[in-house]
């Protein structure tokens, strides 16, 4: 990803450099023309300001942690402050630079598809902020889950967050779901890009799954859905455990 494509990273870096005084909007554009916006400051929120389900997620972290799509590092920095050995990784070079400026000790500019056992074994893989979506599609999701199984300890957990795509009253979402079905895609598979000022990422796929679809996704990957944690909106937390183990409370 070159600097002109790193829209997300530029937004985080500019916010960091402004001392938190200049929160530019991050625009999410879907390939059917729908747009949404996010505030850069959300990626810098302190633990006390996180949604309750993300706060609960921290209780499941153990051992060495890989934070996939770490953004500005809010989850990594919290766990690092608790004494965890955390590696924050993101495809965005400027997001990683922002993490380093904020004090995250171990970082890597890397796409999720490049993650492998070469990074060393992990006990927790963190995918918060709806980052289960980085799986992109069911085929890549299962491939990555098998890869994660091979690079984690026997008692490892994946702590992932996603959004229930079917819980909507908006007709344009239903139309998009139906368009996906006609194309042989899962309803919650979206093609989007991130825009900020005059920067724009390439288009990429992002995956939202229902609880039932999540169960289908993990079959025969070496993982099981051990626990689901609801949120105050349509997001939910999924704790995945190795198929031969169970997550303890």
**Inside any domain, residue 33:** no
**Inside any domain, residue 231:** yes
**Inside any domain, residue 25:** no
**Number of structural domains in the chain:** 1
**Inside any domain, residue 1:** no
Tokens 């819980």, residue?
A: 167
Tokens 């994946």, residue?
A: 158
**Inside any domain, residue 126:** yes
- CATH number for position 77: 3.40.50.150
**Distance between CA atoms of 10 and 3, rounded to whole angstroms?**
8
> 162: which strand partners?
236
**Inside any domain, residue 11:** no
pLDDT at 16: 95
pLDDT at 7: 97
Contacts 24+ apart (CB under 8 A), 144-147: 144/112, 144/113, 144/115, 145/217, 145/218, 145/221, 145/222, 145/223, 146/221, 146/222, 147/115, 147/116
pLDDT digits (tens, 9 = 90+) for 35-72: 999 999 999 999 999 999 999 999 999 999 999 999 99
pLDDT at 249: 43
Domain range enclosing 232 = 51-191+205-242
pLDDT at 246: 53
pLDDT at 23: 65
Q: CA of 248: how far to CAs of 10, 62, 191, 219, in Å?
A: 40, 12, 36, 21
The parts of the chain modelled with pLDDT lower than 70 are: 23, 246-249
């Amino acid at each position: 990803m070159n600097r002109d494509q790193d829209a997300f990273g530029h937004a985080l870096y500019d916010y960091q450099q402004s001392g938190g005084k200049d929160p530019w909007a991050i625009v999410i554009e879907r390939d059917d023309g729908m747009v949404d916006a996010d505030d850069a400051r959300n990626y810098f929120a302190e633990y006390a300001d996180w949604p309750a389900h993300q706060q609960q997620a921290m209780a499941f972290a153990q051992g060495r942690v890989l934070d996939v799509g770490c953004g500005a590092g809010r989850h990594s920095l919290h766990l690092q402050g608790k004494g965890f050995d955390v590696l924050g990784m993101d495809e965005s070079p400027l997001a990683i630079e922002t993490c380093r400026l904020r004090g995250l000790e171990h970082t890597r500019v890397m796409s999720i598809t490049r993650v492998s056992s070469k990074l060393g074994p992990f006990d927790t893989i963190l995918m918060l902020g709806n980052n289960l979506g980085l799986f992109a599609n069911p085929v890549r999701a299962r491939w990555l889950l098998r890869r994660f199984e091979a690079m984690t300890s026997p008692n490892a957990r994946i702590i992932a967050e996603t959004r229930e795509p079917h819980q909507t009253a908006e007709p344009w979402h239903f139309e998009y779901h139906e368009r996906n079905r006609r194309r042989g895609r899962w309803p919650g598979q979206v093609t989007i890009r991130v825009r900020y000022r005059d920067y724009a990422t390439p288009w990429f796929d992002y995956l939202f799954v229902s609880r039932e679809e999540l169960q289908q996704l993990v079959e025969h990957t070496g993982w099981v859905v051990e626990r689901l944690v609801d949120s105050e909106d349509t997001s939910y937390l999924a704790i995945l455990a190795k198929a031969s183990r169970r997550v303890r409370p």
